[in-house]
Amino acid sequence: MTLTAPPDAPPEPGRLAGGALGLPSVLFCIVTGAAPLTAMLFNVPVAVTGGGYAAPAAFLLATVALTIFSVGYIAMSRRVTSAGGFYTFISRGLGRIAGTGSGVLIALCYIVFTAAVIGVLGYFAATSIEAWTGLALPAWVYMVVALAVMSALSWFHIELTAKVLGVMLVAEVLALVVLSVAVLARGGAEGLSLAPLDPVEVFSNDGAIQVFGSAAAGIALFAAFWSWVGFEMAPNYAEESRDPQRIARIATYGSVIGLGIFYIVVSYAYVSGWGLTGSVQAVADQFDGRYASAFYPLADRFVGGWLTTVIEILAVTSSFACAMAFFNTGSRYLFALGREGVLPRALARTSRWHSPGVASSTVTAIVFVYGLAFVLHDPGTEGALLKLGTWSPLLGVLGILAVQGLVCVAIIRFFLTTARDGFHFFTTLLAPVLGGLAMAGACYLLIDNRTTLAGAEDVPFITLLPWVVLVMFLAGAAIALYLRARRPVVYAGLGHFTLELDDEIAAPTEEAAV
């Protein structure tokens, strides 16, 4: 395939390639960020350690919470169309200082997610290739190769990346569907029970207590929410979408509800395939090193060794697709922050394919340095999964949940002040209130259970986790305060870049300029 620059006229400086993505492409970019197969292989065992055989109920609770959150989020996205995502939304609703703090925090969270999933990729690639060929290479070798490929793809037209992600997504979904249908059609190990779908069981699960000695709802809910990270990406691709408002609405609801149903079914098939108590013991055996994933013996038993091999391959490609989607989102946040002067304006320079080239290169550099620190701390293959791939998501998920809570408050204020004509009791008040409470509760549970989730106590990275998130937010807020004092013209434009179709609605107002 020969890649050439698009024949149309180049976009304005600081603008991405308009009209490049249709609904399927945006969905591919979003859903691959959630990485269904990686989410199930990695997060179901984590959910089981906290919620036992009620792991499917944890995914059910997360589906409900995120669907409620999406109601107000979609209402906001119809009024505000920009690559800035959460940064832009909070800037419009709560002012530039809170918005800039959130923008810096969320950008760093997505960059951390990229590094974390590259670590997971390195683990699965190293263990699988060694099992197949006997070639034992450290996980960091595969991590470097994956980061190099992502960096190259990020410079080209976004449509190319969307096609690559789409192929990977279809393959991993099909593999999990085949496994789930086989397990459920044969009635699992002990028959099919409704107990795994009971939310009450998440908070006091006999199966988890029997095997692990305790049950923690916070652990189960963390794993569930982590599985959806990236579902809110649709507005970040607004500038590159053919119909931003329609695509954002369908893509967000489709990803939240569609992934929710999928996760519930697959996790239920896992629990049913092993049996209620057996599903918890299988995770304990995985953690003891009996197999790389508790899903592999299920594939062997209910389908055949060929599916296990396919899943092992897809674990690597799925991780790559997930990391690539996070990479894209992180670069677009840096692009938006650079375009508005929060960060160096060089970050807003685009490549000849109209992609955020400089921002993408910056993400590459940060991910490399961040990952290198973990590799130097623990160069082992297991360290790529249990430290880089496990500790880092705690930081990222906490930051994401906190920002989502602020978005809920921003939505309420935006429709009570700037966009009163769009106010609706349920979509712009009640739903954001409920969504905000859910995010606050999830933040508390994550903080309270962070040492158990990390499997490490007295580690500064874990004990200081909430403070790191706060410092990143305050760093962004400090930049906004500096701009307000020294560069008021730049400050006035923070969080207010938007597409032409939205300029009239989203023009800066005195009320928003706090």
Digit-coded pLDDT (tens) for 101-154: 998 998 899 899 999 999 999 998 998 898 888 899 999 999 999 999 888 887
pTM confidence score: 0.81
For residue 205, the model assigns a pLDDT of 78
Residue 6 has pLDDT above 50, yes or no: no
H-only helix segments in 52-138: 55-77, 86-94, 96-133
Q: In the predicted model, what is the mean pLDDT of the chain? A: 82
pLDDT of residue 2: 37
Q: Which residues of 474-503 are buried (b: 16+ CB within 10 A; e: fewer)?
A: eebbebbbebbeeeeeebeebbbbbbeebe
Give mean pLDDT, residues 338-359. 81
Q: State yes or no: pLDDT of 356 exceeds 50.
A: yes
Judge whether 38 and 295 are in contact, CB under 8 Å. Answer: no
pLDDT in tens, 205-258: 777 777 776 667 788 888 888 788 767 666 555 555 566 667 767 777 888 888
Q: Considering only 19-28, 90-99, 364-373, 471-480, which range has the smallest mean pLDDT?
A: 19-28
pLDDT of 33 reads 62
- Quick one: pLDDT band at residue 83, thresholds 50, 70, 90? low
User: Quick one: average pLDDT of 367-392?
Assistant: 91
What is the arithmetic mean of pLDDT over 444-465? 85
Residue 53 has pLDDT above 80, yes or no: yes
- Tell me the average pLDDT across 265-276: 95
Q: Which CATH class is domain 23-482?
A: mainly alpha
Rounded Cα distance, 386 and 424, in Å: 45
pLDDT (tens digit per residue) in 281-300: 999 898 888 888 899 999 99
Domain extents for the chain? Answer: 23-482
12 confidence band (pLDDT: 50, 70, 90): very low
C-alpha dihedral sign at 92, 419, 238, 147: positive
Nearest to 392 by CA among 405, 406, 404, 377: 377
pLDDT of res. 483:
93
Copy the structure tokens of residue 419: 């966009």
DSSP string, 133-172: H-----HHHHHHHHHHHHHHHHHS-HHHHHHHHHHHHHHH
Q: How many CB atoms lie within 10 A of CB 48?
A: 33
- Confidence (pLDDT) at 202: 86
Q: Write the pLDDT tens digit of every residue in 185-205.
A: 999 998 899 999 999 888 877
> Which stretch of 44-58, 77-91, 95-109, 424-438 has the lowest confidence by average pLDDT?
77-91
